[in-house]
Amino acid sequence: MQGRLEKMAAFHDATIRYELVLNHQRVPLNQLLGQTVTLHHTGDLYCLHCNMPMRKSFSQGYCYPCFSRLAQCDMCMMKPETCHYAVGTCRDNAWAESFCFQPHIVYLSNTSGLKVGITRHTQIPTRWIDQGAIQALPIFKVATRRLSGLIETLIAKHVADKTQWQRMLKHQIEPLDLLAERDRLLAICASELNALEQENQGAIEFLVAAEVVDLNYPIEIAPLKVTALNFDKTPQISGVLQGIKGQYLMLDKGVLNVRKFGGYNIQFSVMD
């Protein structure tokens, strides 16, 4: 099979099910554990938005013109608390209204350890899976992306907001009491959170009845040493598929971040 690589599709089950996506065609991956797979980059790259050929990928799969003009590539996507819609400088008001002005969830997860994060309510549990979390707990449901970013920034003063991907892939993370961690962090941030609630009446809902979600990944052998594989350095990547976690394929030769190479034209094959 050959086509433009997209981020893997993932489905929450007793063990998470993964599919490789090439030009919207899907290859079930869990059943390939223990087999030798080959991904060959033909040298062609195509923008994930406009599908035009490109020489270099920006922001995990966009050509430079799309990267420069699309709202989803603006810096406020990485730092939602810096949203500038209200001052009239958003790149695309219609896109923002359909994306940023939707309910968002502020959550705790256990990826490489405890972290705080945000996502649209429709992206649960996909966001947690993409990050390689083994546990997750929603804390707040809020009205806008900017507001979720403001809350995340408060909590991130006391806990990580990024994943150490090498540690996550070694898959040696101990379970945490996320309910106790939630209560501890909310107590620390109580005065600042109360101030935000007063400024945004009715826009912040505390998810008091939320339960911890456990996530189990299809892994036969986790790497002891994490070596990143890169199509730009090695166009053909081949090895025994030993596991899948987050957006990474774990091969006996190293790990491949599939999402990083969005837009790369890939030939995929499995050795009989």
- pLDDT at residue 24 is higher than 90: no
The helices-and-strands tally (H runs, E runs) of the chain is 7, 13
Any idea which residue has 């081949």 for tokens? 238
Segment 202-210 shows an average pLDDT of 96
Count Cβ neighbours within 10 Å for each residue of 227-256 and write b for 16 or more, e otherwise: eebebeeeeebbbbbbbbbbbbbbbeebbb
- pLDDT at residue 219 is higher than 90: yes
32 falls in which pLDDT band (50, 70, 90)?
A: very high
- Distance (Å, whole) CA 40 – CA 82: 39
Segment 199-220 shows an average pLDDT of 97
Segment 209-233 shows an average pLDDT of 96
- pLDDT at residue 19 is higher than 80: yes
Domain ranges of the chain: 2-56+218-270, 101-214
For 143-187, what is each residue's pLDDT tens digit?
A: 999 999 999 999 999 999 999 999 999 999 999 999 999 999 999
Give the pairing of strands 17-22 and 204-206: unpaired
C-alpha distance from residue 215 to each of 124, 177, 179, 180, 225 (Å): 12, 15, 16, 19, 23
pTM equals 0.94
With CA atoms as reference, report the closest residue to 196 among 161, 152, 160, 165: 152
Mean pLDDT of the chain: 96
So what's the pLDDT on residue 57?
A: 92
Q: Are 227 and 25 in contact (CB under 8 A)?
A: no
So what's the pLDDT on residue 103?
A: 97
Strand partners, 19: 9, 28
For 71-82, what is each residue's pLDDT tens digit?
A: 999 999 999 999
- pLDDT at residue 272 is higher than 80: no
